[in-house]
Structure 1
Amino acid sequence: MSMADLLVIITDVLLRTVFVMYFPRSFLNITPVCPTIFVLAFAATLISVWFTVAFTFDRFLAICYQNVKAKYCTERTATVIMGIVCVFSCLISVPWYFTMDPEYNMHNTLWGCVWNQAFLNLTSWASFELLMLSVIAWFPFFLLLLLNALTARHILMSGRVRRGLRGRKPGDNDPEMENRRKSVVLLFCISGSFVLLWSTRVIYVFTERVFGTPYVKGSEFESVGFMLQVLSTCTNTAIYVLTQNKFREQMKSAVRYPIYLIVKLVKNRNAS
């Protein structure tokens, strides 16, 4: 998931936005390259979203169906699923290349890319965009909400059984139950952050396509939606990974290691 999120930052933020804005005469603005970057950015976003769904489903199986954990929650299965998600995301993103036309011609070279009239006016292209929005936002959100709700329900029910077996009252202090309550909060934070950060972008595209609002690039509403959408590719990784003790320990080791090398180098120089 971290690599997918990094690809989103590289393609969607750096190549498609920053470099195009601040280096307008670079080769990235040539017409064949410009829509290609858009395709790569959409594919990277799609991969990031569905990696999160796949990871959530993996945790759902591991927590709620521990009898199949050893069979399906394996490195081999994860590799196959990631490969399928990557190939599918790249293939489904290809049609976006044909939604753009050159913006202008300078010295017999086509520069820039703008939405072509067919994409703006034809019902088939509008249906395609809404379908892509469903694949990248609505359907993943439904799955995340469903899987997290089922996982939270399983944790709460197992907690009640645990209290009954241990003879504890609901108000008693139980470290295991405290960890499970934190897991429930974590699961709902994931679903909540996804829908909140994607809602602006979803509303923008939906109102433009369904209610016929003029499709204008560069509006403030679209800019805010784009910013929140890009941010959403980072939040789930942070929520999932940064809360893990092993990851935090490795992060501390990675920070301390360069300091250790510098101190060792200084000591060796002083000794010599």
Structure 2
Amino acid sequence: MKVTVGGSLKLAFRPWTEGLENVPAEGPAILASNHLSFSDSFFLPAVLDRKVTFIAKAEYFTTPGVKGRLTAAFFKGVGQLPVDRSGARGAGEAAIKSGIEVLERGELFGLYPEGTRSPDGRLYRGKPGGLARVALATGAPVLPVAMIDTEKVQPPGKVVPKLIRPGIRIGKPLEFSRYQGMEHDRFVLRAVTDEVMYEIMKLSGQEYVDMYATAMKRQLAETAKAEKDAEKAEKEAAKEAAKELQKEARREQAAEQRRSDP
């Protein structure tokens, strides 16, 4: 199925690539990418000769019915690995364990250090728990990856993609053997993650934001809610004002009628 999906994507969208020679022909490696679109997990494997395993929500594999079975078959076919994300900490540990297993098999493991899609096309602070821990636990090299214009192919909330040519840049491998055995040191995890994010920023040309994308999404949601509440309050105030004007007009009309009565 990877051949079918990858071939179709390449034929339809003709993604351009740089740095494919940096991907090892064999052996484990981590592909750490920025995250602009749902389609990132399909475009990156499509341009590689080797299988890349990404983490996906378990719901994609457990939805009942014909549609659910077809969705599960599709995600399995393109190398997605189900992880139960119902509990934040448990989900993180499950993802790390799965990533280590993939790399120990000598395969490629793909992940998004930002933890979620960028809400506005900028590059956000990487979360240190997954990427750095997997890299230090396995000793696998980390390849920074920049997905370019994939958010234009499939903007958030859009089902039908646009035929826009995206790009993929893959940087030179980074190795962190100097931190071996320090995968539980939070300062080391932060340093490793920041180094990878800096390389992604150079490859993508994105503006960097020193906060988590999840925090920005919450902030944007709160701002949108506040604006909606303010708009609702303004409309209610306008209605009340209109009612008061109507009442005043009726009072003036009644007073005028009394003055005109003989």
Which category describes the TM-score, using the shorter chain as reference length?
under 0.3
Higher relative contact order (CA 8 A, sep 6+): 2
Q: Which has the higher strand share?
A: 2
Give the TM-score of the pair, scaled to structure 2.
0.27
Query: Which is higher, the Rg of structure 1 or of structure 2?
Result: 2
